[in-house]
């Protein structure tokens, strides 16, 4: 590899044109460099974040076609002492990347399902919907997150708390193995019996370990769900929230629910009866038959008359309809927290902060019920944080001028929710940018210490920066 004569830019080092030209001869994918324009997407455009509030400006982007391209990208970064970060779908990008190499993994996407073993072999860059569809052909289902537009690998590396969290646990509980490019460019397969520390860390430790090029995921034998949502008009918001919170205290383990307060804009993409309204939507998912599902949902349906009731038998391929998260990129700002418990005092405070009469800057404020299978760690253990939490709280805002209010409101949340706060939250629900302080909330001190030592062993030079 030619010597690099680096050129300084406003923010970081860009490798020399010769070094980039050499990298281009070594990969089958595309290499994009900051400031170069050849008519195609720029480096920044190739790794655009899902939130348009976040604009990346990395020195080099390698749009990988193959695992060998990933290896070359990591070796190149190592030779030029550049950090390596990953881009699959951009859903997890909460702050701008302004240096180093970003490896884009869409070119590695793909799913193969083996119905005999019930294992899906999933390439990096794959979105959940592709897995859901491939598994559905065999009457099987992956344990996904709320949105099937999100990437499998980035989501699962955080643990993965989805709409079936109480009946089926975290997504990482279903992982059978990873294939990983390490900081020295070597490629390893890791599972419970091979490189067990790395396997433990990848099951919830999120980053700072390597590039996952493939993930093997066990699928659940599940073709349909009794699932959907109930939407209640503004006058029922308080009663339904209180009723749901009380109901969760004795809810069966095989039912997963959440509530979300929505301040819906008066815009054409919102269905007419809901346009411009403040509503509460209660999501419900039961992996069983309709008769039992109806019996289980009855106390929730009885809380108040619903504006809309979509709970019915759905194919598992329609799992994304339960939360109905928007898929288009937009100016979204998200934050989150984990709670130990919910009581009337919490509900009153939550409604005062984010309810219909508040001046909340958020479009959506949700609380997901955890517990059940989420509390049971896998044999051999995993690094997933948040198993001991009772509830996860999420906030989403989409109005750019109100971002300062969102930042202030999320900071205030950390203070006022202290009496109900869980001891640890989950990294997928952490507000960005991740600092030592925010990251310290994502794992128990013991798990965080073990993660630091696994990262130090597998990435001693910090090639894969973790946090901002
Ligand atoms: C609409 C929406 C719904 C969501 N729902 C849920 C939910 O229900 N439950 C939940 O737990 N989380 C949820 N999340 C959070 C989500 O899991 C994280 O944002 C996740 O990081 C997204 O991964 P990605 O690959 O799609 O995004 P990207 O931004 O492309 O990647 C995010 C990060 O994942 C890591 N990563 C990605 N690919 C690789 C790879 N091949 N090797 C190593 N590291 C990699 C990197 O650290 C990267 O920075 C949701 C997010 C959104 C925006």
Q: How far is the CA of 301 from the centre of ligand 1 (A)?
A: 33
* Residue 146 beta carbon below 6 angstroms from any ligand 1 atom: yes
* Residue 90 beta carbon below 6 angstroms from any ligand 1 atom: yes
Q: Which residue has the higher pLDDT, 468 or 262?
A: 262
Q: How far is the CA of 1 from the centre of ligand 1 (A)?
A: 33
Reference 354, options 364, 342, 369, 344; nearest CA is: 364
Residues 11, 87 contacting (CB under 8 angstroms): no
Q: Which atom of ligand 1 is nearest to the CA of 466?
A: 47
**Each residue's pLDDT tens digit, 127-147:** 999 999 999 999 999 999 999
For 309, the token pair is 């009731």
Contacts of residue 98, defined as CB under 8 A and 6 or more positions apart, other chains included, come to 11, 12, 56, 57, 58
Top mutation candidate among 47, 86, 260 for ligand 1, by most atoms within 8 Å of CB: 86
Give the separation between CA 396 and CA 431, rounded to whole angstroms: 11
For residue 2, the model assigns a pLDDT of 30
Q: What beta strand segments (E) does 233-289 contain? A: 256-263, 278-286
Element (H, E) at 448: helix 445-458
Number of other residues whose CB lies within 10 A of the CB of residue 335: 24
* Residue 93 beta carbon below 6 angstroms from any ligand 1 atom: yes
Say whether pLDDT at 43 is over 90: yes
Give the separation between CA 336 and CA 159, rounded to whole angstroms: 15
Instruction: For Cα atoms 155, 382, 428, give the angle at the middle one, nearest 5 degrees.
Output: 25
Q: How far is the CA of 440 from the centre of ligand 1 (A)?
A: 19
Q: Strand pairing of 119-123 and 111-114?
A: antiparallel
Residues 171, 144 contacting (CB under 8 angstroms): yes
Q: How far is the CA of 90 from the centre of ligand 1 (A)?
A: 7
Which whole number is the average pLDDT over 234-240?
A: 97
Say whether pLDDT at 3 is over 60: no
Which whole number is the average pLDDT over 20-28?
A: 98
Give the separation between CA 355 and CA 361, rounded to whole angstroms: 11
Top mutation candidate among 103, 142, 145, 150 for ligand 1, by most atoms within 8 Å of CB: 150
For residue 110, the model assigns a pLDDT of 98
Give the separation between CA 351 and CA 180, rounded to whole angstroms: 44
- Tell the residue nearest (CA) to atom 48 of ligand 1: 86
For residue 467, the model assigns a pLDDT of 78
Reference 219, options 269, 147, 168, 268; nearest CA is: 168
Reference 87, options 235, 223, 207; nearest CA is: 207
**pLDDT tier at 468 (50, 70, 90 boundaries)?**
low
Which whole number is the average pLDDT over 255-266?
A: 94
Query: CA 48 from chain center: how many Å?
Result: 16
Q: Which atom of ligand 1 is nearest to the CA of 213?
A: 41
Handedness of CA 39, 44, 46, 51 (dihedral sign): negative
Q: How far is the CA of 398 from the centre of ligand 1 (A)?
A: 19
Top mutation candidate among 49, 54, 149, 154 for ligand 1, by most atoms within 8 Å of CB: 154
* Residue 148 beta carbon below 6 angstroms from any ligand 1 atom: no
Residues 321, 226 contacting (CB under 8 angstroms): no
For residue 413, the model assigns a pLDDT of 94
Reference 191, options 153, 158, 217; nearest CA is: 217
**Each residue's pLDDT tens digit, 50-82:** 999 999 999 999 999 999 999 999 999 999 999
Q: How far is the CA of 47 from the centre of ligand 1 (A)?
A: 14
Q: How far is the CA of 292 from the centre of ligand 1 (A)?
A: 34
- Tell the residue nearest (CA) to atom 52 of ligand 1: 91
For residue 136, the model assigns a pLDDT of 98
Say whether pLDDT at 7 is over 80: no
- Tell the residue nearest (CA) to atom 36 of ligand 1: 154
> What φ, ψ does residue 222 adopt, rounded to 5°?
-150, 115
Which whole number is the average pLDDT over 439-465?
A: 96
Say whether pLDDT at 37 is over 80: no
- Tell the residue nearest (CA) to atom 12 of ligand 1: 428
* Residue 157 beta carbon below 6 angstroms from any ligand 1 atom: yes
Reference 187, options 178, 175, 196; nearest CA is: 178
Give the separation between CA 359 and CA 363, rounded to whole angstroms: 11
**pLDDT tier at 9 (50, 70, 90 boundaries)?**
very low
**pLDDT tier at 12 (50, 70, 90 boundaries)?**
low
Question: Of the ranges 6-15, 156-165, 334-343, which one carries the lowest mean pLDDT score?
Answer: 6-15
């Amino acid at each position: 590899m030619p010597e690099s004569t680096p050129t300084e830019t406003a923010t970081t080092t860009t490798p020399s044109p010769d070094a980039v030209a050499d990298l281009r001869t070594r990969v089958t994918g595309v290499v994009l460099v900051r400031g170069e324009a050849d008519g195609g997407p720029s480096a920044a455009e190739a790794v655009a974040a899902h939130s348009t509030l976040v604009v990346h400006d990395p020195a080099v982007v390698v749009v990988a076609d193959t695992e060998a391209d990933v290896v070359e990208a990591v070796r190149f970064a190592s030779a030029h002492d550049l950090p390596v970060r990953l881009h699959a779908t951009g859903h997890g990008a909460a702050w701008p990347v302004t240096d180093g190499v970003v490896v884009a993994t869409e070119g590695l996407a793909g799913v193969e399902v083996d119905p005999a073993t019930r294992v899906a072999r999933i390439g990096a860059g794959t979105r959940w919907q592709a897995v859901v569809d491939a598994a559905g052909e065999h009457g099987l289902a992956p344990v996904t997150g709320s949105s099937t537009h999100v990437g499998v690998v980035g989501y699962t590396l955080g643990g993965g708390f989805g709409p079936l969290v109480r009946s089926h646990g975290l997504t990482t509980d279903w992982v059978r193995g990873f294939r990983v490019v390490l900081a020295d460019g070597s490629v390893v397969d890791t599972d419970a019996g091979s490189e067990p520390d790395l396997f433990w860390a990848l099951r919830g430790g999120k980053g700072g370990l390597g590039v996952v090029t493939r993930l093997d995921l066990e699928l659940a034998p599940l073709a349909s769900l009794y699932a959907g949502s109930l939407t209640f008009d503004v006058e029922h918001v308080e009663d339904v929230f209180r009723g749901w919170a009380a109901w969760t205290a004795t809810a069966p383990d095989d039912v997963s629910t959440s509530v979300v307060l929505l301040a819906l804009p008066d815009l054409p993409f919102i269905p007419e009866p809901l346009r411009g309204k403040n509503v509460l939507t209660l999501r419900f998912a039961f992996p069983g038959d309709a008769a039992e599902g109806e019996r289980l949902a009855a106390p929730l349906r009885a809380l108040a008359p619903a504006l809309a009731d979509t709970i019915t038998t759905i194919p598992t391929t329609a799992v994304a309809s339960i939360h109905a998260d928007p898929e288009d990129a937009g100016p979204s700002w998200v934050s989150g927290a984990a709670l130990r418990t919910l009581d009337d005092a919490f509900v009153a405070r939550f409604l005062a902060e984010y309810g219909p009469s508040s001046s909340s800057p958020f479009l959506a404020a949700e609380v997901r019920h955890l517990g059940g299978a989420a509390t049971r760690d896998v044999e051999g253990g995993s690094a997933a944080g948040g198993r001991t939490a009772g509830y996860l709280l999420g906030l989403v805002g989409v109005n750019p001028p109100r971002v300062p209010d969102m930042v202030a409101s999320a900071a205030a949340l950390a203070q006022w929710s202290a009496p109900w706060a869980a001891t640890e939250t989950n990294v997928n629900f952490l507000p960005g940018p991740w600092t030592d302080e925010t990251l310290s909330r994502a794992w128990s001190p013991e798990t965080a210490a073990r993660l630091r030592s696994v990262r130090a062993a597998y990435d001693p030079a910090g090639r894969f920066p973790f946090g901002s």
